[in-house]
Structure 1
Amino acid sequence: MCNLNHASLCTNMKRLGLQRISRFLMYSALYVQCLLAVEMTVDPPSNIQIEDLGTLGILEITWQPPASMSNMSECSAWYELTHQVVNEERWKSVRIKRQTYKEAFDLGKDIVIKIRTYLEGPCTEEREVWSEWVEINYPTHLQGTPETKVKDFKCINDKFETLICEWSAGELGSNSNYELQYWQEGMSEKRVCAHYMTENEINTGCHFGSEEFELFSDLFICVTEMPGMDPIRPSYFIFQLQNIGKPGVAENLTLTMDISGDFDLNWNEPKGKIPAHCLEYEIQSKNQMNMWETVAKQSESRYIFKRSETSNTCIRVRGKTNIYCADDGYWSEWSPELCWEEPSYNLGLKWLYCAVAVVIILTGLCVAASMYTVRMKRQWSKKLQYKAKELVYDIDPGHNSRC
């Protein structure tokens, strides 16, 4: 019995020893892999350059691969850049293999760009390895005091036909005025506004002429000082024209009532170059408090609603570019107010109808009187004939009355 227990104990100890050895070997392999991972590193890009292309917002970023990659030709490398999206709070990240990158930035703010290297291939045992981030600050060196900047700047693409930009003036000296510069892809160089709107001899807007701007393409605008005048803090803006469109007013509103008492509202699409499929409409009606409230939002230029949906049937309509054609836009002006009126007849027509009725009645009476007179004449004629026969018979009894 003791020998059997001793053999079992020996067997268990051997198994325990094998488990420990296998665990040691596994942990050793993992440790070696970790050491290799720690040892395998890649450097960030080198010789990073940022160039202003003179297009009021587009910067070109170029760089060179890290020098440590010269002996790693069997591995593929790419680069990741991250920066803040213009006019937004979020950051944008992009991975590319080339060593150049162009992007639109707000040149009125300090620009921060981060870049790092990614490496993968046989030299990294097919594992992805990346470098530390390199941060580049691109100072804008703005002139002029912040108080001189324009305020409340906005641009409207009216009916997709005319571009109008307006702003409020900042605190300017006697030798200061604003100049609006603009550029869009396809232009050989930036241009200057030719038709300013002014207030107290200060430029407060630009009415663009017959320029053909492209939709779905960035339009870069800078408002700064006139050449030779005191410096003004420049303001930079980037728009896409489809996102600042404003339709015309809906036209020819008509309101009719069908047999069931429902209202049928129709209108014509607003004039302009905005396609019909790019428009949505808001319909409002007055409530019991004589205040406007939204009845519906839809894409069709017709709306049918129950008369019970509104106590005071006064309607108005406005339009806007929809989400299928633009990310944003302006509502059009409201159409003229259209109110339902019960059908009423003209007073002259009423007198005409009355006169016709009187004539018809008098005519009927005359016809009836004529017929009555003819009838009475016939009756008197028969009576006279009968009396004449009786008189002849009394004079000559032998006379045959049938002759």
Structure 2
Amino acid sequence: MANTSWLIVMLLSITCRESMHCNGFTVDPPVDVVISDVGQLGRLQISWSPPASQVNVTECSQLYQLEYFDTYIDSWSAIRTAKMNYTAQFDLMKDVRVRVYTLLRGPCTNGILIKSSSYTELVQNPPSTGVGTPVQDFVCVYHNMKYVECNWGRSPKLSANSQQHLYFWHRELDQTEECPKYLKASGTRFGCNFTENSLPEFTDINFCVNGSSPEGPLKPAFISLQIQNQVKPGTTEKLHLRKVPEAQLELRWDNPAGKVPAHCLEWEVEHNQEGPDGKIALQQILTDQKSLTLPSIHDTQINCFRVRSKLSKYCANKGFWSGWSPATCQPEKREKAPKPEQSRDIVHVYVFIAFAIIAILVLSLCVGAVLKMRSLRDVKKPDALLANVFARNSVLTVMDA
């Protein structure tokens, strides 16, 4: 019973410490809340003014509690500050919602922190201007921590004359910049390559994809991300596979080339086991090591392995799997011998090809012989004509004599 009474007293004390009614003192919420877009593609500035009732209160320190709805995590975030402005990141494609309270503490409140029971709220709707639909499937990949490439999907409803643009901003830039090198297919932009423009890690990078069309400006899409969460490691080039005692297989591999820290990688091993009956069993194994030992390997089985990697949760919030390595098998996989029916079919094909070649050769020889005979006849005809001429000349000569 004593414990229960003590708990009630504690709760009342906590309630009183942030109440407007303790000691008969009241606190009003701030006024003139404004949300300003300073052209940083989603980074907005929130400002407010103190309530008129607290302007002349000088013996107490005045704080403010700002709450804003973070659409990236679907929950409210709160900060307390003595300033009358704050900058936060928002998704401009969704409603921007903020609330501001007033807090007082000092001699005027007997040292108790008092919070206004009400707040001033401001909701800003996303812009409804633009034609068509915003780009879909926008994704950026930090390839092996060397360069960033962003791609997006183009709506099939967009006219052929529509042109899309990508703009980006981060804290190291004074103002937004346009994509340094667009990726194109048949003259249509579908992505951006940042090979020559390095993007900073562990900071928000804001993107906007908008555009123009014969019907008017396209609806913009806004995206914010950090590139250390977009890493796709390089592909592992070679696996090392060998038999070890007790009918086991030992699989080892090296880190992919590149800048990705080795301790940040986790691996997925795909084990493909084929029995003498041709049946295949597939197993996928997750590990943070660069080796794997499998027991009870039979000589009648063909075991093939390949691996891929991605950043672990201890180094990044998310990431992309690398490509699969080339497969390595034990014993080495050989081409299967053709079945008897397939062998007979292959023999028939070879016989048909042989007959076809022979027929073509015979036909070529026959055509050549015919052409040769004709050429010989053409040669003999002039000889016969000359003989007749000489015969006639001889007869005329005799008659004249």
The reply to whether TM is greater than 0.5 is: yes
Match of 1:256 among 242, 260, 263: 242
Mapped partners of 1:277, 1:121: distance in 2: 51
SS at match of 1:307: coil
Which of 215, 230, 238 aligns to 1:244? It is 230
Alignment correspondent of 2:219: 233
What TM-score comes out, normalization by structure 1 length? 0.71
Q: Letter of the 2:29 partner, please give it.
A: P
**How far has the Cα of 1:334 moved from its partner?**
1.1
Range with greater deviation from structure 2 (220-229 or 274-283): 220-229
3-state DSSP class of the match of 1:313? strand
Amino acid at match of 1:251: E
Q: Does 1:340 align with 2:330?
A: yes
- Say if 2:142 is the partner of 1:160: no
Report the CA distance shift for 1:168/1:35 in structure 2 as closer, same or farther (over 3 A): closer
Q: Give the deviation of 1:153 after TM superposition.
A: 1.2
Give the alignment's Cα RMSD to 1 decimal. 2.6
| Residues 309 and 295 (structure 1), Cα distance of their counterparts in 2 relative to 1, 3 Å cut | farther
Q: Distance in 2 between matches of 1:169 and 1:204?
A: 7
Which structure would you say has the larger Rg?
Answer: 1
Structure 1 runs of 4+ off > 4 angstroms? 226-229, 308-312
Give the superposition deviation at 1:88: 2.5
Instruction: Return the TM-score normalized by structure 2.
Output: 0.71
Give 3-state SS (helix, strand or coil) of 1:143's partner. Answer: coil
Instruction: Confirm whether residue 123 of structure 1 aligns to residue 108 of structure 2.
Output: yes
Aligned to 1:361: none
Per-residue CA deviations over 1:316-344 (Å, capped at 9, x if unaligned) read: 11100111211100011111111111799
Structure-1 separation of matches of 2:164 and 2:229: 25
Task: Give distance in 2, aligned partners of 1:268 and 1:48.
Answer: 57
Report the Cα offset of residue 124 of structure 1: 2.0
Counterpart residue type for residue 184 of structure 1: H
Residue 328 (str. 1) matches residue 318 (str. 2): yes
Matched, 1:280 2:270: no
Unaligned regions of 5+ residues in structure 1, if any? 1-33, 345-403
Match of 1:79 in 2: 64
Measured in 2, the distance between the counterparts of 1:314 and 1:301 equals 17
- CA apart distance, 1:312: 4.3
User: Any conservation in 1 of the 2:163–2:213 contact (CA below 8 Å)?
Assistant: no
C-alpha change, 1:139 and 1:340, in structure 2 (3 Å) is same
Change (3 A) 1:65 1:343: closer
1:305 is aligned to 2:299: no
Deviation at 1:52, TM superposition (A): 1.3
Q: CA deviation at 1:150?
A: 0.7
> Structure 1 residues 234 and 35 mapped into 2: Cα distance closer, same or farther (>3 Å)?
closer
- Rounded to whole Å, the distance in 2 between the matches of 1:67 and 1:158 is 55
Provide the aligned length of Structure 1 versus Structure 2.
309
Q: In the alignment, which of 119, 124, 144 is matched to residue 138 of structure 1?
A: 124
| CA deviation string 1:235-262 (max 9, x = no partner) | 0001100101100111220101122332
Q: Which stretch of structure 1 is more off in the superposition, 286-295 or 205-214?
A: 286-295
User: Do structure 1's residue 110 and structure 2's residue 95 form an aligned pair?
Assistant: yes
Q: Tell me the percent identity.
A: 32
1:53-89 superposed Cα distances (whole Å, 9 cap, x missing partner): 2111111112222221133222222111112224221
Q: What is the SS of the residue equivalent to 2:238?
A: strand
> Cα deviations across residues 141-198 of structure 1 (Å, max 9, x unaligned)?
24213x3311111111111112111111122234421100111211122111132222
Partner Cα separation in structure 2 for residue 82 and residue 343 of structure 1: 63
